[in-house]
Structure 1
């Protein structure tokens, strides 16, 4: 039976969610549910309830159509990639049966396993094999555990031990790391996704034998399955499909237990109001170990769509997407912000050309904010087709998640890409599902829309931060979520489970939200990572970082406070071109962004520092930050926060403790200057 895709009915934008009668209690709001589609759960007719049903639906619709695509290397010197080549649903079906059968055979013989779950690891960048292996695990009652491509050896070792992974599918670059630490883990089998040369295979096999670990290639596993073939098993709604590890910013990763029902019903909820056609092509570049990308690809599979994977090189991202020309582009603010900044730099220039650009933007923004339309036959053809071409020119749907994005950027993307641009909100613990903006809503930017059909939400008072369900004009408080997509426990972690999920099944997000008069959720603060300044004011550091990040000058920013001080500092990693242009203007001499020495000198120049701080202060005022929330001094560095230097998680969130340790001397020196008499403004 094909999946149930439900079209948008006539929408009342003033009533996007509704309060459930009788649910209001002291200290919290009523429960809010979707005002367009109502509420769905595991009893709703015609819903998919397991991931095996998701696969069966996609396979039935698109058996002989293209499914998974990649760009093969056609030259190594220079490195050059060819056009996309594809595997069909039927070809993938054979491969998933072979892989799944081999794993069942080996677990059945006792060659693998020994933990309380039959877990299987995947440590690889996005590629067709990642998806094929995962589909095999879903189909043969195995529990997938995905590791971020950028994961360090300590975190990888922790997850392998915590989840008792005895077999892991990896790309060849990770094999040395695994073999070096093999005796500290339960690993029994490493399966290399890449084809190895005879020499490399001999070396790894010998090394593995010395460590008590068997080495095979993916084609070996497929051959084992081919001669021991068994039929796939239908899953049940309560069957565990995955342990998805969240990358902790302060502690070890937490393993979120996700069942087939959690993921399938999240996907079903996303099918309410979906606007992508069955022959949609999705561009895959966000890490598949992250729940957001994983759900997007499951959504594509459910209606028989195709998925094209990027080459793995972020510098080739635009070349990949322009080659693929996708209809569906799941994305994140850090990428969309760059598209916005590039378009504004190219279009908003002096003279006639810039005047035409500004007229086109103003005309389309007025229409967007008045009637919700982002299409204009004249301006789209004359001005915005070049912006659309950056992402291939065929986009129908762009989704934005994982972090906040400014309303100005969202509005510009809507009018320039001329397609549906949807911001949403979710967590690993909710299978990337909770809220989603409704298309053509004239004022949705800056919100994450109403709760999705699978969810109900409520707000709890946060007295320490002066947020209350009784606030006017809109209730405010900590966002809590309930529904069939919400997890119920962390793996082997009762303490964090109890702290996150209450006895009534409400998941406490740690995010502060308000519910506006249209019934939309707007994220405004964080309960976590708050601190108290010396004068007693509470500040939410992540919230402040997100607001400053909308400045074109900001590539990365770490905001720091000390409870013995009355003001905030920041470490700023600037966008090179923006710093180059500003420094050239301030210093009266050319500072080229490719001249490392000149850029370093500019970053340390007091006049440049003051000019950058002036820009940031304007951004603070634009976002209505209070005085104590405004950064008073900055340290500018060209040394980015990265996973490799230990200052970022694999999901690209700053590890606060490690970032502070890296820049402690610089931050302490700024505080040693004493109380600022006022932000030093630089006339730009």
Structure 2
């Protein structure tokens, strides 16, 4: 079999980066600074610990923590010994995480300590009894709360595992080995695990890195969460591919971004359009020096041409790339190219990457994707996989778009009702089910509405049970207790009736 350019395994990437860029900084996390040689050694240590705790090839290992050096080391250690990584968004509630851990039959989960007021160790311990497949729980802190073992307790047994066992496990992997299981509501509405391989990820983000112009010595600010393909694959994997320094941020605001860009002389900063808009609108913009920035990549929303021009003129970015991707397509499908006209960059998501075909369905305009990047399927869900990938191998994305004569893709709508809030996919059906558990709500319909900061936010239209009164603030508070914050509606409108089709279906386009 001919190996495609860029196709390899994650542990091979780690080893190659250490060989080629050994003493260059690989990770900067606060006071912690790791060279590529240090990173490879730490990854081997983490992998040996995984083996010591019984993790075998094919076992699922989850991480529920914000961006950090520890996240990077733990994830790379797990996948290097054949485990399948299950990243978990820190915004998820314990019940949501429990569902994913149960569905994936995760064997080991690692969590942060307290983050933004949430006790992740305590949250994990609270759902332990409902997870019969979960054998090991460990924290990124040296203090433990049984049954969650501390970082020190987790690492200690690995010292007795011969390094050769790690090397053998890493060498046994091939580009076809499964590498990660990202959970997404996908194109059919309910949480499902998307299965992709080492080779799909390394090949796709070899291309991504080339198009963005990422190069050895770049200093790459990763504000996108590692629990998302944009953070893990376009962040960690891309930096390993090119020898760029990873600078992860656990959480951010404009001041934190400016401070990090200046202190670390950041050269590459991919983010959602709303993040750049936040920086450009900041009242103290003129007091900061973002002149080290060279390249950016963005997407996930309609982008004003003026934003692209201001990113170049005000922030000094010489390269601005827009892209379209989805988890089911390994995170990337199309990209604009350096040198494209600002109109093309802003109005389209660029052209298909090599090895990938994109077309639109004649009847609906739905965007269809076929190529090496299409997932191997939803984890243990043949029916949902068959609904999403047709017999000819075309992935049905649920998005609607148009292709111009040059092959540039313009996203025009969504077949499904999903909206994107701050870069995260939010699915109305899930939100509506929670709203319906609030006393007095008879029916609920959620749509995405424009928001200057987050791109889109949820707006809920609700019909009250006759004779009952619904207080919008109380309903929002009810949702906040049960949903990740990007899913919580920001607006509630109580109405007497919904617009409906002749079949009684709610016409959400009219609500919008």
Structure 1 length normalisation: TM-score?
A: 0.60
- Correspondence for 1:211: none
**TM-aligned CA distance change 1:260 to 1:522, over 3 Å:** same
Equivalent of residue 57 in structure 1, options 7, 16, 20 = 16
Structure 2 gap ranges (5+): 114-118, 419-427, 429-445, 464-470, 500-512
What are the superposed Cα offsets for residues 305-325 of structure 1, whole Å, 9 maximum, x if unpaired?
A: 111122535463433333222
Give yes or no for contact 2:368–2:394 (8 Å, CA) kept in 1. Answer: yes
What are the superposed Cα offsets for residues 594-638 of structure 1, whole Å, 9 maximum, x if unpaired?
A: xxxxxxxxxxxxxxxxxxxxxxxxxxxxxxxxxxxxxxxxx9989
TM-superposed deviation, 1:126: 0.2
Equivalent of residue 107 in structure 2, options 163, 166, 177 = 166
2:270 is paired with a residue whose SS is strand
- Correspondence for 2:96: 155
Inter-partner Cα distance in structure 2 for 1:174 and 1:560: 29
- Correspondence for 1:260: 198
**TM-aligned CA distance change 1:152 to 1:311, over 3 Å:** closer
Inter-partner Cα distance in structure 1 for 2:210 and 2:288: 29
Inter-partner Cα distance in structure 2 for 1:249 and 1:489: 12
**TM-aligned CA distance change 1:155 to 1:305, over 3 Å:** same
Q: Does 1:449 find its partner at 2:350?
A: yes
**TM-aligned CA distance change 1:153 to 1:273, over 3 Å:** closer
TM-superposed deviation, 1:194: 1.5
- Correspondence for 2:269: 329
Inter-partner Cα distance in structure 2 for 1:440 and 1:119: 42
Structure 1 gap ranges (5+): 1-41, 73-84, 209-214, 347-385, 464-476, 532-540, 564-634, 672-684
Higher strand share: 2
TM-superposed deviation, 1:642: 11
1:231 is paired with a residue whose SS is helix
**TM-aligned CA distance change 1:641 to 1:304, over 3 Å:** farther
Inter-partner Cα distance in structure 2 for 1:248 and 1:560: 21
Inter-partner Cα distance in structure 2 for 1:636 and 1:179: 33
- Correspondence for 1:302: 241
Equivalent of residue 310 in structure 2, options 407, 412, 431 = 412
Residues 222-621 of structure 1: pairs in structure 2 closer than 5 A:
222-229=155-162, 230-232=165-167, 233-234=170-171, 235-247=173-185, 252-297=190-235, 298-314=237-253, 316-342=256-282, 390=288, 392-419=290-317, 420-442=319-341, 443-444=343-344, 445-463=346-364, 477-529=365-417, 545=449, 548-549=450-451, 557-558=457-458
Inter-partner Cα distance in structure 2 for 1:393 and 1:642: 44
Inter-partner Cα distance in structure 1 for 2:9 and 2:184: 23
Give yes or no for contact 1:120–1:165 (8 Å, CA) kept in 2. Answer: yes
Q: Does 1:135 find its partner at 2:36?
A: no
1:154 is paired with a residue whose SS is helix
Q: Does 1:189 find its partner at 2:126?
A: no
TM-superposed deviation, 1:645: 4.5
Instruction: Tell me how large the CA RMSD over aligned residues is.
Output: 3.3
TM-superposed deviation, 1:495: 2.2
The structure whose RCO (Cα within 8 Å, separation 6+) is larger is 1
Give yes or no for contact 1:57–1:303 (8 Å, CA) kept in 2. Answer: no
Inter-partner Cα distance in structure 2 for 1:642 and 1:426: 33
TM-superposed deviation, 1:562: 9.8
- Correspondence for 2:434: none
Give yes or no for contact 1:265–1:454 (8 Å, CA) kept in 2. Answer: no
Give yes or no for contact 1:262–1:431 (8 Å, CA) kept in 2. Answer: yes
**TM-aligned CA distance change 1:138 to 1:642, over 3 Å:** farther
Give yes or no for contact 1:246–1:253 (8 Å, CA) kept in 2. Answer: yes
What are the superposed Cα offsets for residues 102-150 of structure 1, whole Å, 9 maximum, x if unpaired?
A: 212332xxxx67xx94111111000001111111122111111111111
Inter-partner Cα distance in structure 2 for 1:276 and 1:253: 33
Equivalent of residue 68 in structure 1, options 11, 24, 27 = 27
**TM-aligned CA distance change 1:523 to 1:250, over 3 Å:** closer
Equivalent of residue 492 in structure 2, options 663, 667, 679 = 663
What are the superposed Cα offsets for residues 31-56 of structure 1, whole Å, 9 maximum, x if unpaired?
A: xxxxxxxxxxx846543332223222
Inter-partner Cα distance in structure 2 for 1:646 and 1:414: 41
TM-superposed deviation, 1:449: 0.8
Inter-partner Cα distance in structure 2 for 1:669 and 1:322: 53
* Number of residue pairs aligned between Structure 1 and Structure 2: 451
TM-superposed deviation, 1:285: 1.6
